[in-house]
Structures are given as structure tokens and as C-alpha cells.
């Protein structure tokens, strides 16, 4: 169904190409947001379009969120001021989901605070595999309707097309949901390791019995690569066990400052992720899955 007269897709800075692809897939209008910074660093926004009665769909990759959030909230307010009938958010990576508990007394529960900000500015949310660990669902912290798009089918397709005799391995218990989904999709063997985290860059991973996997190519699957420590420690265990150099298929490639060096030093042959974050490794395209989810939200 064409959304030409009912929907305007608006890109936040840097996400124009993803927004254009989504607009084309939805048959929706693409409204251009002018954005610049004043000399003092504050944001200037202008939308040269009448949104009267249209649903506005803001598209924003929200990695490195602290530099992006004020402009995003301004843009949502602007769309409403200009007469949008509703304002939705497509955020393929949803940040601030990992601080889902006070690990130490007095810590900020940023997952809940961030959810309140987004819920108070948007009418709905479409995202891809948010880090749901201690929360079962986004509904526990988001008060707006949300659709979670699973990336597992796209990861499974990439593995099937690019890896010979894959065995899917999760580096920690939290990854089991993605590992199992990918493996079941393509009827592949799978295993999950255990992890303890002692600091941002300091994790200890232990492996189950890996014997019997000779002849398979290990593919580490996880939702996030950040410091790279989790995948690096897991990869070392695989090569120590005499398996082939591992490949990695990850949903969100956040990549911290030294993570690529860490991953290369661990002997990882190749790492790919989705384009939820704009990185060279982001070769798994999410637009088809996102467009279908947005179309459902707009119905």
C-alpha cells in the first residue's frame, strides 16, 4: 500500500540514505530536515514541509546517543508543531538498554530514564533486537507501542550464504536467544559459552565441551560488539580448541575505540553486522525488515 499522502519519512542527520530507502519501500513522502549547529554548538532545525495530518516517521541511528538525543527530541516536537497526526521513531539500534539494573548502589537506571524521554516525545517505536536481558519486554519501561524486529533471519541468511559447515556459538548466556534463533532457522548445531564481566574491557569466558565440532567453521553470534572483549575471549577459546578461525555475525556494531585491534588480535577471520549502526562491517541490510514493521505500525 502506498503511504504517499499519509506519511512523511524524516531522516535525522547521517541517516538520509536509510530514510530514503524506507520511504521508497513504503511509498511515503520523504521530508528533508535541515540541521546545523549554531557557533555555540546548539542545534538549529527546520522542516520545509507541511505535515498537516500526515504521520511523521523519524529515522535515527542512535549509537553514540549523547550527541544525538537533543536534536531527535527537537525534531519530534517540530513535527508535532507542524501538524503531524502522529510521530513515530525508527531506531534500528536502541541505546541505553544495558543499564537495566543498579549494579552498584546509587547508579542511574538510564534504561528507564531514556525510555521515559522517548515515550514522552513519540507515539510508537520500531527497533531491532534491543538488549532485553533483565527486562522481558520493552513494555516494562516504554509506555508507547513498540515493534521489535528480529535480526536473526538476516544473520542466518548471511551465515548460510558465506560460511561452509557453520556451527553457531554464543559467547555468553545472554546471546543464547540469538544463537538459538539463527541455528533453528537453518538447522545448524549450536553451543553457548559462559561469561563473567569484571570491567568494561575485562571479561572471562569459559567454553563447554567443543570436541566433535572439528570440520565445522565456528560463527560467533551476539547482539552487540562494543569493546570487542567478549568476542575476542570467545574466539581465543575456539582457536585454542583447534577449530578454524571464527567468523562473527553481530546485530549491532558499536565498536569502541580499540575494539577492532582487540578483535584482529584474537584471530577473528571476519566480522559482519547489520547496518543498524553506520560502520564498514554493516553489510547486512535491515531496510526490508524495518519497512515491513513500519507499515504495520501505520495501519
Q: Which span (117-125, 150-158, 184-192, 216-224) binds ligand R5P, by CB under 6 A?
A: 216-224
Query: Does residue 63 touch ligand R5P according to CB under 6 A?
Result: no
Residue 224 sits in the site that holds ligand R5P (CB under 6 A): yes
Nearest to 31 by CA among 4, 1, 61: 4
- Among the listed ranges 37-45, 68-76, 220-228, 266-274, the one in contact with ligand R5P (CB under 6 A) is 220-228
Using the rule CB under 6 A, give the single segment among 1-9, 58-66, 209-217, 227-235 that binds ligand R5P: 227-235
- Whether 68 sits among the annotated catalytic residues: the reply is no
Binding residues for ligand R5P, total number by CB under 6 A: 13
**Residue 275 interacting with ligand R5P (CB under 6 A):** no
Smaller CB distance to ligand R5P: residue 54 or 131? 131
Residues 188 and 210: their CA atoms lie apart, in Å, by 15
Sole binder of ligand R5P in the list 191, 230, 274, 276 (CB under 6 A): 230
Strands 190-192 and 166-170 come out as parallel
Residues recorded for the chain: 299
Question: Binding to ligand R5P by residue 225, rule CB under 6 A?
Answer: yes
Instruction: For residue 151, count CB atoms less than 10 angstroms from its CB and return exposed for 0-12, middle for 13-18, buried for 19 or more.
Output: buried
Say how far residue 299 (Cα) sits from the centre of its chain: 24
Query: Scanning residues 146 to 205, which ones bind ligand R5P (CB under 6 A)?
Result: 172, 174-175, 203
Cell of 204: 572471562
226 near ligand R5P, judged by CB under 6 A: yes
d(Cα 75, Cα 77) in Å, to the nearest integer? 5
Q: 274: which strand partners? A: 284
Which of 195, 216, 247, 252 is flagged as catalytic?
195
Q: Is 232 exposed, middle or buried (0-12, 13-18, 19+ CB in 10 A)?
A: buried
- Which of 15, 123, 129, 222 is close enough to bind ligand R5P by CB under 6 A? 222
Specify the DSSP class assigned to residue 38. -
What residues does 9 pair with on adjacent strands? 30, 57
Shortest gap between Cβ of 260 and ligand R5P (angstroms)? 11
Stretch that binds ligand R5P, among 35-43, 143-151, 153-161, 217-225 (CB under 6 A): 217-225
Quick one: 130 or 166, whose CB is closer to ligand R5P? 130
Write down the least CB distance from residue 231 to ligand R5P, Å.
6
Judged by CB, which is closer to ligand R5P: 222, or 281?
222
d(C-alpha 36, C-alpha 19), whole Å: 18
Nearest to 121 by CA among 161, 83, 70, 156: 70
CA nearest to 221, candidates 258, 259, 183: 183
Of the pair 191, 226, the CB lying nearest ligand R5P is at 226
Which residues of the chain form contacts with ligand R5P (CB under 6 A)? Answer: 172, 174-175, 203, 222-230
Residues with catalytic roles: 195
Amino acid at each position: 500500500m502506498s503511504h504517499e499522502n499519509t506519511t512523511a519519512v524524516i531522516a535525522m542527520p547521517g541517516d538520509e540514505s536509510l530514510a530514503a530507502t524506507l520511504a521508497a519501500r513504503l511509498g511515503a513522502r520523504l521530508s528533508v530536515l535541515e540541521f546545523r549547529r549554531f557557533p555555540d554548538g546548539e542545534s538549529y532545525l527546520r522542516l520545509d514541509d507541511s505535515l498537516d495530518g500526515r504521520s511523521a516517521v523519524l529515522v535515527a541511528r542512535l549509537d553514540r546517543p549523547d550527541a544525538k538525543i537533543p536534536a531527535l527530541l527537537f525534531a519530534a516536537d517540530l513535527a508535532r508543531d507542524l501538524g503531524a497526526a502522529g510521530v513515530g521513531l525508527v531506531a534500528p539500534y536502541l541505546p541505553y538498554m544495558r543499564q537495566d539494573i543498579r549494579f552498584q548502589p546509587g547508579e542511574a537506571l538510564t534504561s528507564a530514564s531514556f525510555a521515559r524521554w522517548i515515550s514522552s516525545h513519540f507515539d510508537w517505536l520500531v527497533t531491532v533486537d534491543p538488549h532485553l536481558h533483565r527486562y522481558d519486554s520493552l513494555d516494562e519501561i516504554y509506555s508507547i507501542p513498540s515493534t521489535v524486529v528480529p535480526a536473526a533471519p538476516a544473520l542466518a541468511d548471511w551465515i548460510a550464504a558465506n560460511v561452509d559447515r557453520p556451527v553457531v556459538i554464543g559467547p555468553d548466556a545472554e546471546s543464547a536467544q540469538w544463537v538459538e534463533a539463527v541455528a533453528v532457522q537453518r538447522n545448524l548445531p549450536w553451543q553457548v559459552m559462559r561469561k563473567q564481566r569484571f570491567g568494561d574491557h575485562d571479561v572471562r569466558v569459559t567454553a563447554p565441551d567443543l570436541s566433535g565440532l572439528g570440520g565445522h567453521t565456528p560463527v560467533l553470534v551476539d547482539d552487540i560488539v562494543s569493546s570487542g572483549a567478549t568476542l575476542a575471549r570467545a574466539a581465543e577459546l575456539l582457536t585454542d580448541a583447534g577449530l578454524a578461525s571464527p567468523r562473527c555475525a553481530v546485530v549491532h556494531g558499536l565498536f569502541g575505540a580499540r575494539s577492532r585491534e582487540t578483535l584482529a588480535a584474537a584471530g577473528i577471520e571476519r566480522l559482519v553486522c547489520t547496518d543498524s549502526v553506520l560502520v564498514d562491517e554493516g553489510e547486512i541490510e535491515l531496510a526490508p525488515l524495518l519497512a515491513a514493521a513500519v507499515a504495520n505500525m501505520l495501519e
